[in-house]
A = this chain, B = another copy of it.
Amino acid sequence: MSTLNTQLGVNFPKGFKSAGVYCGIKKPGLLDLALIVSDRLATVAGVFTTNQACAAPVRWSRKVVQGGQAWAIVANSGNANCLTGAQGERDAERMAQLVAQRLGCEPTQVAVASTGVIGVPLPMNAIEAGIAQLFERLSDGDDRATADAILTTDTFPKRASIEVSTPDGTVRIGAIAKGAGMIAPNMATMLAFITTDAEIPHAQLQPILARVVDATFNSITVDGDTSTNDSVIMLANGASGVRLSEASLGAFEEALYQVCEYLAKRIVRDGEGATKLFEVKVVGADSRESARKIARTIAESLLVKTAIHGGDPNWGRVIAAAGRAGVPIDVNQMALTMQGVRVFENGQPTQYDERDLIQRLQSDTVELLLELNQGDASATFWSSDLTAEYVKINAHYRT
């Protein structure tokens, strides 16, 4: 498999153009409207937030994904179009209509996403003018503006693309993402848009995307808050001329995983106020679900996140978080390794060198490995440290 290109995203696969503009939702100078267009009708797949207070664009795009085919994705930042009542529903549909009119397709073939403050109606005049601008700027070259236009409090754009050799031929995958707080501030959301020039029907693409998202974007946490707007939307347009047979799906899924894992970690790395990324790997669980629950509880623990921030080898917090995950465990069977140092086994601490461990914990990437010795299942979560800066950012997001 070829290496990841982190300087190009959704424009890398054949047959896709995109653009990003400022339309007037955010402060002048900040891009706030993005469009990704396929040159032909594409297969669409999507994974959305499970939050029941989900935003209007999420409800709209779920329907688009159910339809199975789409031409484009339009997304704005700075306003989540969430908890905006019936007007919000009409505005989400209107965004799709404005794009569909220009493409000459059905509105239900245009996915929509929004991220930003909630409870405020979208400035539809600004968006209408912005969509006209987007069509003037569509390009298949650099997609930095597209990646920038979906950001909120992110401090850097997130792009990745890869070429995949399969038995059926070479195809390409490209993606852009945004994260930041909740993952996302003020519900602002995790968004990822993925393109591929492979030809693959919805019935095959949807489960592949769901599995990959489960192990990547759904295995990260900044603050445990699930946004009302989280959306991962993927278009597969077949412009490569390569139709993926069963024999090629493994390599394709592997490459998609690589792209998504990279972007997921970039989101954690860019978590609000984050200075460190830490990986929580739980192995030897009796089921993947158990492993995920434990990994997630550790990854979300404020006490673990603050200890990681301080470089404090406070392993007891990790064991205690595992103990309250709601999964049967036996501490006497467990072993915990921090940054390669075994600190706990058989129900008690080992004789480790604390100064050495403190030294290792200064790294900006920290690995925790918890062995349960109960079975063969495992799971990995990625999380960011909790800092005073996070509090500062979120205490005054709107005011």
Where the two chains meet, the residues of A that have a C-beta atom closer than 8 Å to any C-beta of B are 50-54, 80, 82-88, 117-120, 181-182, 185-187, 223-228, 300-303, 306-307, 309-317, 319-324, 328-329, 331, 344, 346-349, 358, 386-388, 390-392, 394-399
Contact among B320, B388, B399 for A311, CB-based, below 8 A: B399
Does the CB pair B392–A317 fall under 8 Å? no
Q: Which of B50, B303, B309, B310 contacts A223 (CB 8 A)?
A: B303
Chain B residues with CB under 8 A of A87: 348
Nearest-neighbour CB distance to chain B for A184, whole angstroms, equals 9
Determine the chain B residues whose CB is within 8 A of the CB of A358 once the complex forms. 399
- CB pair B395 A321 closer than 8 Å: no
Please measure, in the bound complex, the distance between the C-alpha atom of A317 and the C-alpha atom of B391, giving whole angstroms: 15
- Give the docked Cα–Cα distance between A391 and B393 (Å): 14
Pick from B182, B185, B386, B395: contact of A391, CB below 8 A: B386
The CA of A321 and the CA of B86, in the complex, are separated in Å by: 21
Q: A342 to chain B: closest CB distance in Å?
A: 13
* Cα-based distance from A324 to B358 in the complex (angstroms): 37
Given contacts A83-B319, A187-B316, contact A394 B53 (CB under 8 A): no
Smallest CB separation, A49 vs chain B (Å): 8
The reply to whether A187 and B320 form a contact with Cβ atoms under 8 Å apart is yes
Q: Which residues of B contact A226 (CB under 8 A)?
A: 320, 323-324
Sample of 8 A–B contacts (CB below 8 Å): A50-B324, A53-B323, A182-B320, A225-B321, A225-B324, A307-B395, A310-B397, A311-B399
Closest CB in chain B relative to A232 CB, distance in Å: 17
Are B314 and A83 in contact, CB atoms less than 8 angstroms apart? no
- Which residues of the partner chain B approach A391 to less than 8 Å between Cβ atoms? 306, 309, 386-388, 390-391
The answer to whether B52 touches A328, judged by C-beta atoms less than 8 angstroms apart, is yes
Q: How far is the CB of A60 from chain B (nearest CB, A)?
A: 16
